[in-house]
Structure 1
Amino acid sequence: MPSATILNYLVNKARLWRANGSTKVSVAVNIFWLALAWLFLPLESKPFTAYRAAFQEFYPQINPHAPKTLDCVRWLSQTLFLICFRTSVRKGWLRLSISWAVNKIAAALTRLGDWVGHYGALALDGNHKSFETIDKKGEELSRPIKLTLLWILGGLAAALAVLCITQPFNIQGQVVFLSVMLLSALALRKIKARLTLMLLFVISMVVSGRYLWWRCTSTLNTDSAMGIFLSCLLLAAELYAFVVMVLGYFQVCWVLDRKPYPMPNDQALWPHVDIFIPTYNESLDVVKPTVFAALNLQWPADKLHVYILDDGSRPLFEEFAKQVGAGYIKREEHNHAKAGNINHAMTVTNGEFVTIFDCDHVPSSDFLVKTMGWLIKDPNIALVQTPHHFYSPDPFEKNLHLDRTMPIENSLFHDFIQKGNDTWNATMFCGSSAVMRRKALEEVGGIAVETVTEDAHTSLKLNRKGWSSAFIDLPLASGLSTETLAAHIGQRIRWARGMIQIFRLDNPFLGKGLSLPQRLCFFNAMFHFFHGLPRLIFLVAPLPYMFANVYVIYATAAAIFAYVLPHMIHSALTNQILQRGYRYPFLSGVYETVLSWYILLPTTVALIFPHKGKFNVTAKGGTIGEKYLDWPVSRPYLILIGLNMIGLLIGFYKAFFDPNPEYLTLAINMGWIAYNLMILGASMAVAVEEVQKHQFPRIHCKIDVNICDEEDANYKATMTQYSQSEVRLSLSGCEKVWKKGESIRLLMIYKEKYYCFKTTVLSAEPGNVLELSLCFDDYETEKAFNRCTFSREGMWVPEKVNVDDRMLTGFLKLGSLSWYGYKSMIEFLPGKLQIVPKVLSWCLTFAPRKPARALNSNTL
């Protein structure tokens, strides 16, 4: 119902009540409650219309024509009675049940969420007011008023949260309070609305806040210096995790799912764009697909300028650039690595916009037309970033044998958190797959050179100068992941070191130019990389009690259950709902454990000596000949496994042989150790490097093609995989026997153009599956194949599938990965230790097994 109609309704009601004898106080109180009901409940709907018509029969103690001051209390008590019991009226049966109430509350919360979303969107940074979804009526309120309202609501919520957190309860009161919180969370998680997600955030923070308040005020072990040190160390790790959790909730509380803005119809208005492809020591085979794809971009040829920025000064690259029609830029002084390479290129080019692709990141042909729209529409936007997508599996995906449909390790930040950053005008430049305004870059002195994460630092500088940024959640380019865990760790060490360098040299909380949300978003990105020490503390926290009877949480087992378990359950439940589709349950612990030891020292050094460290290029395009376990990389995990195993054995010893065992305390610590061993086992599984026989990773696809044999016979086929040098086809209903080495022509149609490529048969598998080797006569033919495959429009947009990401499924998956890790440790024992798996295999021969077929009396 329109707001004006509701206002007239309320005014008429007030006049009627005063005329019938209600006092001014009664009228004011009841008008207030009636206005809230109209705001949050669909009173104009048919069920509520019937409810209002029968109001006096439901509430005989209330006179709707002359209400009293405390009628709201009478209404509440009567409503609770009606919800719990079926009630009949003269006009028929109206059944009010708990499920009915829950559904109506859900509808009310959804309606409230839409209202908050409308005015919340208006209160965001003015740069986002250009979205067409913002209602023009909302512009009547000035921005200061909107922000004031939001700050008032936020302050009231914070005050209530502090009151709930610090309120003292005994164990029974704590259990009752947390039971209400858990039931509320379980009910809210079924409601699909932004507001309910925020309520889940509040519940999670209140429960975790109560836990930390209890930890700070009641659980520190002051019996000894060692007890104080260890209990404070664990508390510090928990406080760190809480701050990261709260900042994470804030960052993505209202993600902005920005869509591409259409380009002007008149291509004369399209600007000149420089495409920079920096390279240093990568092979030409790695760089070629990116260069061809850049040349294939849908953009006026006279306004598209592709440059290879060769910091290796290689004649082979210069000759290649000349032959394919790309520009070639090299420099005499090779300082500041990739950032210096780009900054030098800016001095010899003059395009209005600069697009940067890592040399292995291949854009689809629609990259510019999907990203440039916002830069043309809003002259204050300096950066448009797209997600980092990878067409080759990363070490986690490959070594853990994860399904391609499951979210990968990169997905949480690049596909989700960046959308939250966009909400707060804090989108971070990721070094590739982005378009930047030259004027803005020149204003901040080019790409930042002070740190080894030049990309994030550059976006911070742009925001400080008042420039805006944007993120489009559409994979428009795809690259090569690191092949091995060792290379992956090396890459993340550089990222961690660089983010801590920014924290020290250009702290977002210091200096001018940033809004509070921007400061929080950038700070959280840096603060995250301090997780090395807290994660290691969690992995060894139960051991002091096992080894030396030192309590790191000085409390009874009942109190630990009452405070710790709800804290863990609510944080896990909220994150599972929040990160659904972007992070598989329980795998975050594995990702952090794998990196924790390796980033601990670099981040500590960077914190103390921020100018230390240099840019390292991540190697790409390698092969792995045979499966192996990387023992040197996994050494930290082995030490932690050994310590936790010893702690578990000590726990069993205490349970059976200690004269006065504390069974509940032992159970808590042994359960903690068992979980740690699961995480560490899965971490070992990541170190088991799988075979990668193809130098060029194959990309899955589904493209209809035709093939012609040497006799010009034509066959329909489907291309299911392709790489730079090979394709895999599936033929149906074909009885021809294909011979290895036979010449075949591959026919493809794209954008109403016909293409023909020479190939030879590598292998013919059962089921009419052909493996073909591509034979390119020249670069122009290779560029044409790239147009039909790598740079094909929409090539990198993944197919949406439903993944079973329930908590139980995630926990069982963690268990299976852990088992695989421990089994691999035995399988790949080095040298003389190989006798261990042989002895175990021999012992297993004595175990009973199910017979091949059932026995009966005739076989005995």
Structure 2
Amino acid sequence: MNKEANNKVKFTMSEIRGILLVIFGLAALGFYYQWWFTEDQMRSPWLVAAFGVAIIYGVVQLFGNWVLYLATHRATKKPMPTAIPDITVDVFVTACGESTDLVERALTAARDMRGSHRTWLLDDGADPALEKLADRLGVDYLTRSGSKDLKAGNVNAALARTNGDVVAIFDIDHAPKPDFLERTLGYFSDPDIGFVQVMLTFENGKDGWVAQAASDSSLDFYNPTSIGSDGLGSATLVGSNAIIRRTTLESIGGYHPGLAEDLATSIAIHAEGWQSVYVAEPLAPGYAPPDLAAWFTQQLKWARGVFELLITDYPRYFRKLTLGQKVSYAVRMTYYWIGPVVLLHLLTTLVVLLKGDHDGLNSYQNYLIHLAPLTFMTMIIRSLALRRWKHRSISPNLQIKPMALVYATWPIYALAWIMAILRVPLGFRATPKSANGTVKPRWMLPQMVTIVLLSIGLLISPITLTNFQLLLVFGFVISQVVAHSVLLGQWMHASMAKPVAAYKRSAPTNPLMNNWRMAESKQHF
């Protein structure tokens, strides 16, 4: 009898609260879906298509994230190994055209990590100054002819010329702390562990509005979402701060190339049967995009790469993944659907406002009534999950800035989705590390047009503050105008940004490299 009692599943109060919140969230999701069948929505092929998007986004992105939040409890029950196995370690610091100061910061930190290891600078720019820097710092230097497959090719070329049992990979803007290896190598005592991923944090949040919003926009992913993915056996690579077993990479043919090479490599590793671990500790801080040029460059690259994997690698590996891994990858690969979803809502709002008929406005008001509880529960669940599972070093905030930044970046995400569907190529673009880029007016045109048309729609529509029947429509329109205006204001006043000392030190000093960075930024923005 006692044995049967001990085998019963026990829930903590925190888990019970989480389950109850998700139940309320599902009720709100069901209430939202109910609207689609209450009137004549399903008679229009366009609304049927929109309903399909709503179903996919609601079930996969929203409910999928809630599942990951609940799975955070499973991740925390994993024991932290204390003994470090007898393995050799190669540390790869990848570089391509960055400033000497920035490279020196990363190399020095990598070299000074405690524990036996060998540090390598992988220079895809073949810069003699960086070769001299590596020699002065006492680290090894590698370069190659050509730049095939870019970062993935750089890593694979180094793998062929080194022999460490595991390789630690750092982007040039991340500086590992002295105890990085001590906090991660112990997991490789388990021969089934293919890689260990350490959370990404950013130390330039005070650089300006964009830097802070960009940094905060990742808090949910690198805290409860990634911890939950780990709980489902699906911690994924994120491009830096990772240690990978050499035999793991050899089993999948090396680091996989692409715009989202980290995600492509992760899913191949998991499909091969390897396990992974996520360490939710700020052990190697880096830099978030400092301005809109850097932010747009990064988001277009990531969204385009992730969308491509969603329609290529995910279906290919689907049968080889566990259920938890299927959920985790589906959540990550549908994140940028926020672009098409926002676009659909904007187009609907504009059509309803510009037509100005009461029937259309009342129908839209009814839609928003069904959407409001879901929006509220999504924000509540996300906020509480972040508060519960964020690292103790992270200050709590209302996430208003990152929500406005991501929401108003919908044109970039929508463009990435179109490019992925049409297979329009996008060359690799490293995210600029200094606030030197500029965004041409044409890239802000969608935000400008949105603000103008929404404002005109408000003026000519019968919506007023005293018309309480349409007050929800009024509030929804105003919130969209505000979000787009904030981003537009940041673009207009970019010259007023005050870079902190960290970016002054990391700003490119070599004129040739500065031109390279500016070209990368200005070519598309």
Instruction: Place the TM-score, normalised by the shorter chain, in its bin.
Output: 0.7 to 0.9
**Structure 1 pair 630/561, CA: closer, same or farther in 2 (3 Å)?**
closer
Alignment check: 8 A CA contact 1:207 1:570 kept: yes
Contact 1:411 1:583 in 2 (8 A): no
Match of 2:457 in 1: 647
Q: Is residue 257 of structure 1 aligned with residue 76 of structure 2? A: yes
Partner of 1:273: 89
Residues 414 and 401 of structure 1: CA distance in aligned 2, closer, same or farther (over 3 Å):
closer
Matched, 1:393 2:201: no
Is residue 382–residue 467 contact of structure 1 (8 Å, CA) maintained in 2? yes
Aligned partner of 1:115 in structure 2 is 10
1:193 is matched with which residue? 14
- The corresponding residue for 2:295 is 488
- 1:46-86 per-position Cα deviation (integer Å, ceiling 9, x unaligned): xxxxxxxxxxxxxxxxxxxxxxxxxxxxxxxxxxxxxxxxx
Q: Are the counterparts in 1 of residues 291 and 435 from structure 2 also a CA contact under 8 Å?
A: no
Query: Quick one: percent identity of the two aligned structures?
Result: 23
Equivalent in the alignment of 2:98: 282
Give the Cα separation in 2 of the matches to 1:3 and 1:496. 53
1:375-414 superposed matches below 5 A:
375=188, 377-393=189-205, 398-399=208-209, 408-414=216-222
Q: How does 1:511-590 map to 2 (within 5 A)?
A: 511-549=318-356, 555=363, 563-580=370-387, 584-587=398-401, 589-590=403-404
Shift of 1:237: 4.9
| Contact residue 217 and residue 403 of structure 2 kept, 8 A | no
The offset of 1:459, in angstroms, is 0.8
**Paired residue type of 1:250:** V
* Letter of the structure 2 residue corresponding to residue 420 of structure 1: G
Q: 1:555 to 1:332 in 2, by over 3 A?
A: closer
The residue number in structure 1 matching 2:474 is: 670
Q: Name the TM-score, length of structure 2 as normaliser.
A: 0.85
C-alpha distance in structure 2 between counterparts of 1:561 and 1:299, whole Å:
57
1:696 paired to 2:502 = yes
Alignment of 1:298-317 (within 5 A): 298-300=114-116, 304-317=117-130
Q: Is the 8 A contact 1:453 1:498 kept in 2?
A: yes
Cα deviations by residue, 1:191-248 (Å, 9 ceiling, x for unpaired): x5212211211121123213312323435185xxxxx366446545533441221111
* Distance in 2 separating the partners of 1:206 and 1:561: 16
1:305 is displaced (CA, Å) by 0.8
Unaligned runs of at least 5 residues, structure 2 = 391-395, 508-525
Task: Quote the residue 1:216 is aligned against.
Answer: 37
* Structure number with higher strand proportion: 1
Partner residue of 1:448 out of 256, 262, 275: 256
SS of the residue corresponding to residue 90 of structure 2 reads strand
User: Within 2, Cα distance between the matches of 1:677 and 1:246?
Assistant: 28
Cα distance in 1 between the residues matched to 2:16 and 2:461: 45
8 Å Cα contact 2:57-2:337 kept in structure 1: no
- The Cα offsets for residues 546-595 of structure 1, whole Å up to 9 and x where unpaired, read as 211465687496x6576444334333333332333577344454132232
Deviations 1:320-358 (A, max 9, x none): 212221111111132000100000000000000100011
Who is 1:325 aligned against?
138
Secondary structure, counterpart of 2:199 in structure 1: coil
**Residue 26 of structure 2 aligns to a residue in which SS?**
helix
Equivalence for 1:294 = 110
CA distance in 1, matches of 2:364, 2:104: 64
User: CA contact under 8 A between 1:540 and 1:644: conserved in structure 2?
Assistant: no
Whether 1:459 aligns to 2:266 is yes
Greater relative CO, 1 or 2 (CA 8 Å, sep 6+): 2
CA distance in structure 1 between the partners assigned to 2:86 and 2:418 by the alignment: 47
Query: Hey, what's the Cα distance between the residues in 2 that align with 1:4 and 1:724?
Result: 61
CA distance in 2 between counterparts of 1:507 and 1:6 reads 41
**What letter matches 1:448 in structure 2?**
H
Find 1:681's aligned residue among 482, 485, 503: 485
* Residues 234, 541 of structure 1: 8 Å contact kept: no
- Is structure 2 residue 251 aligned with structure 1 residue 434? no
The answer (yes or no) to whether the contact 1:487–1:619 under 8 Å persists in 2 is: yes
Q: Which runs of 5+ in 1 are unaligned?
A: 8-38, 40-111, 118-191, 223-227, 657-661, 699-722, 726-860
Residues 257/217 of structure 1: CA separation in 2 closer, same or farther (3 Å cut): same
Verify the 8 A CA contact 1:276 1:354 in the aligned structure 2: yes
Counterpart secondary structure, 1:253 = helix
Deviation at 1:536, TM superposition (A): 1.9
Q: 2:353 & 2:78 partners in 1: Cα distance?
A: 55
**Is 1:419 aligned to residue 238 of structure 2?**
no
Distance 1:194 1:509 in 2: 34
- Could you tell me how far 1:461 is from its partner in structure 2? 0.5
Q: Distance in 1 between matches of 2:55 and 2:241?
A: 36
**1:130-176 superposed Cα distances (whole Å, 9 cap, x missing partner):** xxxxxxxxxxxxxxxxxxxxxxxxxxxxxxxxxxxxxxxxxxxxxxx
Equivalent pair of 2:50/2:344 in contact (CA under 8 Å):
yes
Shift of 1:650: 1.4
Question: d(CA) in 2 for partners of 1:622 and 1:629?
Answer: 11
8 Å CA contact 1:399, 1:685 repeated in 2: no
| RMSD between aligned residues | 3.3
Letter in 1 for 2:410: S
For 1:595, which of 409, 412, 417 is the aligned residue? 409
Does residue 1:507 correspond to 2:314, yes or no? yes
The answer to whether the 8 Å contact 2:354/2:461 transfers is: no
- Alpha-carbon distance change, 482 to 667 in structure 1, aligned in 2, over 3 angstroms: closer
Q: Is the 8 A contact 2:89 2:164 kept in 1?
A: yes
Q: Deviations over 1:10-59 (max 9, x none)?
A: xxxxxxxxxxxxxxxxxxxxxxxxxxxxx9xxxxxxxxxxxxxxxxxxxx
Higher helix proportion: 2
Q: CA, structure 1 residues 589+315, in 2 after alignment: closer, same or farther (shift >3 Å)?
A: closer
CA deviation map 1:801-859 (0-9, x unaligned): xxxxxxxxxxxxxxxxxxxxxxxxxxxxxxxxxxxxxxxxxxxxxxxxxxxxxxxxxxx
Q: 1:250 to 1:358 in 2, by over 3 A?
A: same
2:448 to 628, 638, 654: 638
Counterpart code for 1:605: M
Give the paired residue count.
Answer: 494
Alpha-carbon separation, structure 2, partners of 1:414 and 1:6: 36
Q: Does the CA-based 8 Å contact 2:90-2:167 persist in structure 1?
A: yes
465-474 vs 327-336, greater mean Cα deviation: 327-336
**Aligned 8 A contact 1:409 1:583 in 2:** no
Give the Cα–Cα distance (whole angstroms) in 2 for the partners of residues 574 and 456 of structure 1: 26
1:202 aligns with 2:9: no
CA distance in 2, matches of 1:5, 1:446: 47
| Closer/same/farther in 2, CA of residues 454 and 407 from structure 1, 3 Å limit | closer
| Contact 2:88–2:165 under 8 Å retained in 1 | yes
**Structure number, greater radius of gyration:** 1
Quick one: distance in 1 between partners of 2:4 and 2:263?
Answer: 51
2:430 paired residue number:
617
Aligned counterpart, 1:120: none
Equivalent residue number for residue 161 of structure 1: none
Q: Find the residue that maps to 1:332 and give its secondary structure.
A: coil
1:328-347 pair list within 5 angstroms = 328-347=141-160
The C-alpha deviation readout for 1:244-299, integer Å capped at 9, x for no partner, is 2111111221212377834437xxx5321000011111111110011111111101
Q: Look up the equivalent residue of 2:348 and give its one-letter code.
A: A
Flag the 1:562–1:647 CA change in 2: closer, same or farther, 3 A: closer
